[in-house]
């Protein structure tokens, strides 16, 4: 009976050591997970900021090229991503339903910037799904090279 108690005591000591080592390992995994999550958050926010900055620069460039005459609109489509256009008349911007029927969302520059700012706010509040979904659909542009800014 004494040998059984001694064996049980040794087993408890070994299990305590294993538990302690597992606790350290779990802590390390949690730290690594937090690091990866914060890096992913940084990259997502950065990509949205790049898009917002690029939109702002394109809008300014269009207004300068056309002496402030006309309108700038932003098209969002799954095929082309974010595209900034200058138009002479406001009708193209006003007829959003027509373009939406063909798979494009038409926004004013202000609306586009507000949407991107809301996505960044959502990321900060741990609502990643909406931002990731938006970036998967529209997070590209024929005129934007993310490698230059990343």
- Per-residue pLDDT band for 132 (boundaries 50, 70, 90) equals very high
At residue 149, the pLDDT reads 64
Arithmetic mean of pLDDT, 66-83: 88
CA dihedral 78, 69, 116, 77 (to 10 degrees): 0
pLDDT of residue 51: 93
Dist. CA 41–CA 25, nearest whole Å: 24
Question: Quick one: pLDDT band at residue 5, thresholds 50, 70, 90?
Answer: confident
Percent of the chain with pLDDT over 90: 40
- What whole-number distance in Å separates Cα of residue 28 and Cα of residue 16? 18
Handedness of CA 119, 122, 126, 129 (dihedral sign): negative
Nearest Cα to Cα of residue 99 among 67, 129, 74: 74
Task: Choose among 146, 135, 127: nearest CA to 78.
Answer: 135
Token pair of 133, please? Answer: 């979904």
Quote the pLDDT of residue 21: 84
Give CA separation, 101 vs 19, 95, 127, 134, in Å. Answer: 60, 11, 28, 19
């Amino acid at each position: 009976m004494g040998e059984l108690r001694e064996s049980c005591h040794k087993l408890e000591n070994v299990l305590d050591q294993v538990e302690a080592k597992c606790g350290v390992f779990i802590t390390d995994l949690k730290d690594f997970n937090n690091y990866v999550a914060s890096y992913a958050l940084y990259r997502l926010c950065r990509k949205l900021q790049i898009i917002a900055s690029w939109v702002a620069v394109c809008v300014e460039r269009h207004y300068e090229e056309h002496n402030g005459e006309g309108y700038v609109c932003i098209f969002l489509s799954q095929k082309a991503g974010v595209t900034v256009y200058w138009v002479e008349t406001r009708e193209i911007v006003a007829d959003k339903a027509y373009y939406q029927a063909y798979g494009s969302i038409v926004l004013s520059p202000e609306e586009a910037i507000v949407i991107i700012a809301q996505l960044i706010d959502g990321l900060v509040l741990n609502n990643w799904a909406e931002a990731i979904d938006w970036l998967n659909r529209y997070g590209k542009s024929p005129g934007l090279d993310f490698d230059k800014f990343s």
